[in-house]
Amino acid sequence: MSTHNVWTHKGTFLLAAVGSAVGLGNLWRFPYLAGENGGGAFILIYALTIFAVGIPILIAEIMLGRNSRRSPIMGMRFLTRTHKTSRGWESIGWLGAASAFIILSFYSVIAGWAIHYTGKMLTGSLEGADAETIAAGFDALLASPPLLTLYHTLFIGASALIVGLGIHRGIENGLRILMPALFVILMVVLVYAAAIGDLQGAADFLFTFHLADLSLEGWLEAMGQSFFTLSLGMGAIMAYGAYMSGEASLTRTAFTIAVVDTAVAMIAGLAIFALVFGAGLDPAEGPGLMFITLPLAFAEMPGGALLGGVFFVLVLGAAISSSISLIEPVAAFLVERFDLTRPQAVSAMVVASWALGLLTVFSFNLMAEGTVFHSLFGRSAFGLLELLTNIFMPLGGLLIALFAGWALTHGEVMKEMRTNETWFSVWRFLVRFVAPAAVAFVFLRTIPQVEGYWIPTIGAVVIVGAFAAGRTFLAERQES
Ligand code: PHE
């Protein structure tokens, strides 16, 4: 059974894809990574990767979804048959589903922290608090498994509710309210930050390029972030693409997604650093930038409680419009493959991902540094899951680029792209050569991290490989 569902409006795909792309990656991860890696140079590499590698892969991924009109797993199976290519490409669908499942598990825990801070801000309980109090508050949150589990459950539950209602009643309607509201809030935060913070300082920090400041690690980090922020290589965009109108232009849509996503990251960065510099705080706090430094800035400024509350609502909304895009590919697969109803499929996916999320919850307390788990694996469970997605995401992107660039024929791609020969050649060159080279480069960052994990890593690859090979073999026997 295939889903021949299409979004109600021609522009809904764009709305949904922007909703997926704009999330914690823009508001939390981008600013702290830029802050840690010296600002301007990091942004230069980040933007270059988005345009030279991200957009071409984005086009490829949307194309695969729209052409198959199925969830990523079933869609890739369909495409390998109709285009008579190796069935090994089906791994794109499985890899995407696995990464979506893992990312959702920790994304929800971190988004849950924003629920906590929304409450803290709106009740004014941080007003006038000093740096120690705020840092201690964050530590106390992380030390509490019940509290973290509660927020994680609330967040993932809300996301499930939206997807469970279906693509029209749930996702489309939800996004049509959420996205414009987020835009307004972002503008309010920017204007306020510009009025009371140090916007000039923020702009100097973000847009002065000293390439020498950038370490190799920072360089790779920037490229990895550009994949994450565009939601690439994980089936999210492919799943949404399956519902995209055949009339909308692929290249124009992909370009718009990337521009909006980058603009949001820059605006969020400007606003956050204007507040941080205005309060004389450190931009290089790391992951605590949003949960320690920024609340401190809010605590000290006039009207900070309200602005902070509004800001964290923005974070929550952006996170939820991304988390629903992580549920959709797997849920749609369960509906297509096992004929589950949508609520059943969504529940199955979300309950399993919720349970995996508990590992992230415990990574900050019961299984934190100094515990048996940590000494056994050398990092937290959260760290391990993150590492796994750092491998799966670029790998998925690489395979998508190779499949679209090499396995599909000129005519097939032209039919979907409907662009002129020059653009087509540029795109094809980028997905054939530039994107694979860039991804290979990003893997350089993963290799030192994998050191000491060779056995589990090879084990995971062997299991996934054997699974894919077994399925291919079975399917081929069935066919003949
Ligand atoms: N792009 C999202 C963000 O920036 C995260 C995400 C990654 C969402 C992959 C879906 C798929 O927050």
Look at 480 and 427; give whichever has higher pLDDT.
Answer: 427
Which helix (H) or strand (E) is 61 found in, with range? helix 55-68
Which helix (H) or strand (E) is 5 found in, with range? none
- What is the average per-residue pLDDT within 443-467? 68
Residue with CA closest to ligand 1 atom 7: 231
C-alpha of residue 25 to centroid of ligand 1, in Å: 6
* Amino acid 3: pLDDT: 45
Question: 370 falls in which pLDDT band (50, 70, 90)?
Answer: confident
Given the CA of residue 393, which atom of ligand 1 is nearest to it? 9
Cα–Cα distance measured from residue 263 to residue 243, given in angstroms and rounded to the nearest whole number:
26
Reply yes or no on whether the pLDDT at 452 is more than 50.
Answer: yes
Given the CA of residue 322, which atom of ligand 1 is nearest to it? 8
Cα–Cα distance measured from residue 213 to residue 194, given in angstroms and rounded to the nearest whole number:
27
> 228, 260, 262, 349: which to mutate for ligand 1, most atoms within 8 A of CB?
228
Contact 351, 175 (CB under 8 A): no
Contact 74, 90 (CB under 8 A): no
Cα–Cα distance measured from residue 158 to residue 182, given in angstroms and rounded to the nearest whole number:
17
Q: Compute the mean pLDDT over every residue in the chain, rounded to the nearest whole number.
A: 89
Given the CA of residue 232, which atom of ligand 1 is nearest to it? 9
Nearest to 315 by CA among 113, 93, 53: 113
Question: 450 falls in which pLDDT band (50, 70, 90)?
Answer: low
Nearest to 254 by CA among 274, 273, 237: 237
- What is the average per-residue pLDDT within 415-439? 90
How far, rounded to the nearest angstrom, does the alpha carbon of residue 449 sit from its chain's CA centroid?
A: 21
C-alpha of residue 390 to centroid of ligand 1, in Å: 13
Reply yes or no on whether the pLDDT at 128 is more than 80.
Answer: yes
What would the pLDDT profile of 225-236 be if each residue is shown by its tens digit?
A: 888 999 998 899
How far, rounded to the nearest angstrom, does the alpha carbon of residue 272 sit from its chain's CA centroid?
A: 20
Residue with CA closest to ligand 1 atom 6: 231
Q: Which ranges of 123-235 would DSSP assign to H, the alpha helix?
A: 131-142, 145-164, 173-196, 199-207, 216-229
Enumerate residues 6+ apart whose C-beta is below 8 A from 77.
87, 90, 93
High-pLDDT (> 90) share of the chain, %? 60
* Amino acid 43: pLDDT: 93
- What is the average per-residue pLDDT within 209-218? 79
Given the CA of residue 228, which atom of ligand 1 is nearest to it? 7
Question: 216 falls in which pLDDT band (50, 70, 90)?
Answer: confident
* Amino acid 479: pLDDT: 59
Given the CA of residue 230, which atom of ligand 1 is nearest to it? 1
C-alpha of residue 99 to centroid of ligand 1, in Å: 11
* Amino acid 467: pLDDT: 72
Sorted by where each starts, the structural domains of the chain and their CATH numbers stand as 10-479 (1.10.4160)
The pTM of this model reads 0.90
Residue with CA closest to ligand 1 atom 11: 231
Cα–Cα distance measured from residue 146 to residue 168, given in angstroms and rounded to the nearest whole number:
35
* Amino acid 449: pLDDT: 66
Given the CA of residue 25, which atom of ligand 1 is nearest to it? 4
Nearest to 121 by CA among 298, 272, 274: 298
Residue with CA closest to ligand 1 atom 9: 231
How far, rounded to the nearest angstrom, does the alpha carbon of residue 374 sit from its chain's CA centroid?
A: 26
Highest mean pLDDT among 150-164, 214-228, 270-284: 150-164
> 322, 389, 390: which to mutate for ligand 1, most atoms within 8 A of CB?
322
104-108, 368-372, 408-412: which has the minimum mean pLDDT?
368-372
Reply yes or no on whether the pLDDT at 260 is more than 80.
Answer: yes
Q: Could you give the C-alpha distances from 475 to 337, 386, 470, 478, in angstroms and in order? A: 15, 32, 8, 5
C-alpha of residue 470 to centroid of ligand 1, in Å: 31
73-87, 101-115, 387-401: which has the minimum mean pLDDT?
387-401
C-alpha of residue 322 to centroid of ligand 1, in Å: 6
Look at 244 and 11; give whichever has higher pLDDT.
Answer: 244
* Amino acid 443: pLDDT: 73
* Amino acid 27: pLDDT: 93
Look at 325 and 449; give whichever has higher pLDDT.
Answer: 325
C-alpha of residue 159 to centroid of ligand 1, in Å: 14
Question: 342 falls in which pLDDT band (50, 70, 90)?
Answer: very high
C-alpha of residue 396 to centroid of ligand 1, in Å: 14
92-106, 259-273, 458-472: which has the minimum mean pLDDT?
458-472
- Pocket around ligand 1: residues whose beta carbon is below 6 Å from it? 20-21, 23-26, 103, 228-229, 231, 234, 236, 322, 325-326
* Amino acid 456: pLDDT: 67
- What is the average per-residue pLDDT within 419-434? 92
